[in-house]
Structure 1
């Protein structure tokens, strides 16, 4: 392990030397000033609506509870210099996303603006950096070309690629979904095995993923997180032009999904929804009632986890725990049980207990309706769908019966004919003729039917 750390530190020095020769380094204090120029001042009255601010997570050295890995803090404009020195600089555990939030919670549902779209690129050496730099800034039509980033940040073993927007993107519900698709698209384009990364498995991340903060320390390898200014701020149109698929581009003119129904039609067709959302004003997504079988199934998928997806497997364990109403303490114990197995999976970055407690933080109601597609992207584990073709059970059975009756009709039969199978009535009568002294309980047991059915024909 010691040799591995020495190799990683040596690679870090080489990458830093290359970036130093080509770009200007920027310190963490100025980096976040640039990223979030409109943070609120302490005590500033923002009126009726919250003014969005960046929120970062930091490790408190005086925190005695090992279960509490992070504390949250709002990045306030007039306090930033002092806060940066106290909470970020040389701290071994600080995280910040590229989003700004209303209120004091960094949940995606509270995100109001995207200031930067950020990508994580693991296991980058000299050759991978050369390929990456050769690809950025060229025209979108060129093979594997990438948009010119605003910053390249050294995270320890890899790079964080920042695209800072000239005008922050308003995060309406449908815009969040579109930005997620754009990020997945560009991640696939950026993450090229043996091209830009030594890791084979592409790692997809959500748009509110937190990243090690510039100026903090990567505690796994005792390396400083440093940033280099590689370009200017970008527009959404510029990033859209690099999307591999047209449907993955973001259309800011579609902030919401268009409804298929008028309010009157929705009230009649979805009375429960109308009462909850329109009458009672509950805008939260409705929680599905899911049996714990799904959670237990996820625990059994550990043998499918690949190195770059260990953290996300744990994160999705917490999500399934929320979905299935599993107590948080039980989820934590299950994570601890599987931790040693996951930690032994080969990867350039070691898995630590800090990662475990970080993953447990997504045990939150905001992830009730996290989709199968997103879980597959994050974990690279294939999840089989049900066979209803996304229909409810009633509609699915109705369609199945129609298909059954059509097939029987073609064969000149009826479903009620039983296809030669004896009816329960004939079974009961035949049995009684042969065993006239048996009671209903024995008849039912020997025929494998209910006593009610026996009484019906007795």
Structure 2
């Protein structure tokens, strides 16, 4: 459906076309000192939006953009319009409703969410009419956006927050859940021709900048629909009670030095600092998992999930300890021809999708839940089979079997048949035992396997990550313990 038809629907509902600066001034409170100006001294605790774009290059015989240069810029208050104009002629340019510390729009650099933004694909005049009607009915199904952005065959829905949300780890999780549930309400058989394939996007998702180019070479246009900004509570109220997130948890960050942590969290200090364990609560997986996901994409990627399959590939790379950005990018590029073939009328294209997906090659995504990867990618991920037992019950069951084999049958699975143990064998022996005896400490493992404690520490360092002994929501980084503490409720 043409943009002209979508425009007609918006105008019929009283929307008015506005400029890019109208929208971004509203979101980032330009003119009020909310974000930094060029040359502003540090120490004022301000962060800024980031813009990313592709310039130059040429399209090869397959219609793929090659040889382009990527630029990333901080959007500053006093040069915002100038920088935005610089990116309007880019092959593509993206930004979002978040501010970041520094120059990178990565998960660990997120500061505040100023607007929650959604994609709604599969639009024609009928579906957009249905969407707007449901916003304004006596019993609205979802909130009416402040701005609707026309970007090719889909629309972007902008919800401006009256008070930007601080993005501490727990808050990010709450906002992600809220966005997922609201997405499910917006994407239905009346509001999208692709309603069976909703796009569940994280809060870090980038969107084509207003005034920039659409995928088909048009111009991204903005329309103001609603002038009332939203609180998180108002957005949350559009969800049924069982899906509402617990916004009573307002989180702030505090820090402890290692000396303070030694006093406050002795168990954690012993395991992580003294014994050399890692501290992010995750486990390293084998590269086989990454290669398995490459095969899964080729076998099962669908039209509405193509970008998210690449995003999941970057996350699996992190989970498997693969940090070579060029390697992951090359793998993503190799998938583009197949992703194009999924829907030849709407080719995937080799533009900002790959670059945006690569932003997830970030250690903060190491603990990204498997259930969310399955949901956003549309690809089933089989679970480890425990015959419906909880992990502690399953481990107790396995340990009982091993004890019976050892005591009754005389078997010893850790016996090395008289051969000297090489470093590789010791590593696998130690890690296997540690995996199967999660409560065993380094000394227990050393005694059970007949190896030195230092050898156990050597092979478990950078393998098992432990946050035991820390409060919920805590993490270790930069020589400090970071803890999210619940703020007292207002009277």
* TM-score, scaled to structure 2: 0.71
2:355 paired with 1:360: no
The structure with the largest alpha-carbon Rg is 1
1:60 corresponds, among 48, 55, 62, to: 55
Q: Say whether the 8 Å CA contact 1:240–1:250 is kept in structure 2.
A: no
Q: Say whether the 8 Å CA contact 1:68–1:357 is kept in structure 2.
A: no
Q: Say whether the 8 Å CA contact 1:95–1:212 is kept in structure 2.
A: yes
Shift of 1:168: 0.7
Judged with a 3 Å threshold, the aligned counterparts in structure 2 of structure 1 residues 223 and 382 are, in CA distance, closer, same or farther, namely same
Judged with a 3 Å threshold, the aligned counterparts in structure 2 of structure 1 residues 193 and 247 are, in CA distance, closer, same or farther, namely closer
What's the counterpart of residue 87 of structure 2? 87
Task: Please identify which structure carries the higher helix content.
Answer: 1
What's the counterpart of residue 328 of structure 2? 331
Once the two structures are overlaid, the 10-residue window that deviates more, 315-324 or 95-104, is 315-324
**Secondary structure at 2:318's aligned position in 1?**
helix
**Secondary structure at 1:184's aligned position in 2?**
helix
- 2: CA distance, partners of 1:85 / 1:264: 54
Q: CA RMSD in A?
A: 3.4
- 1: CA distance, partners of 2:67 / 2:176: 30
Counterparts of 1:310-321 in structure 2 under 5 Å?
310-321=306-317
How many pairs does the alignment contain? 394
> Could you report, residue by residue, the CA deviation over 1:158-191 in whole angstroms, capped at 9, with x for unpaired residues?
1111110111111121111000000000000111
- 1: CA distance, partners of 2:400 / 2:366: 35
Structure 2, unmatched stretches of 5+, are 60-64, 255-260, 420-491
What's the counterpart of residue 3 of structure 1? none
Shift of 1:204: 0.5
Judged with a 3 Å threshold, the aligned counterparts in structure 2 of structure 1 residues 287 and 362 are, in CA distance, closer, same or farther, namely same
- 2: CA distance, partners of 1:107 / 1:66: 25
What's the counterpart of residue 100 of structure 2? 101
Judged with a 3 Å threshold, the aligned counterparts in structure 2 of structure 1 residues 369 and 28 are, in CA distance, closer, same or farther, namely same
What's the counterpart of residue 177 of structure 1? 173
Once the two structures are overlaid, the 10-residue window that deviates more, 28-37 or 359-368, is 359-368
Counterparts of 1:13-52 in structure 2 under 5 Å?
13-21=4-12, 22-37=14-29, 38-47=34-43, 49-52=44-47
Q: Say whether the 8 Å CA contact 1:136–1:148 is kept in structure 2.
A: yes
What's the counterpart of residue 76 of structure 2? 76
- 2: CA distance, partners of 1:120 / 1:39: 26
**Secondary structure at 2:283's aligned position in 1?**
coil
Judged with a 3 Å threshold, the aligned counterparts in structure 2 of structure 1 residues 275 and 36 are, in CA distance, closer, same or farther, namely farther
* TM-score, scaled to structure 1: 0.76
The structure showing larger relative contact order (alpha-carbon pairs under 8 Å, at least 6 residues apart) is 2
> Could you report, residue by residue, the CA deviation over 1:58-89 in whole angstroms, capped at 9, with x for unpaired residues?
2233899947653211111111222222223x
- 2: CA distance, partners of 1:246 / 1:257: 28
2:339 paired with 1:342: yes
Q: Say whether the 8 Å CA contact 1:185–1:244 is kept in structure 2.
A: no
Q: Say whether the 8 Å CA contact 1:321–1:363 is kept in structure 2.
A: yes
- 2: CA distance, partners of 1:209 / 1:76: 20
What's the counterpart of residue 184 of structure 2? 188
Judged with a 3 Å threshold, the aligned counterparts in structure 2 of structure 1 residues 273 and 57 are, in CA distance, closer, same or farther, namely same
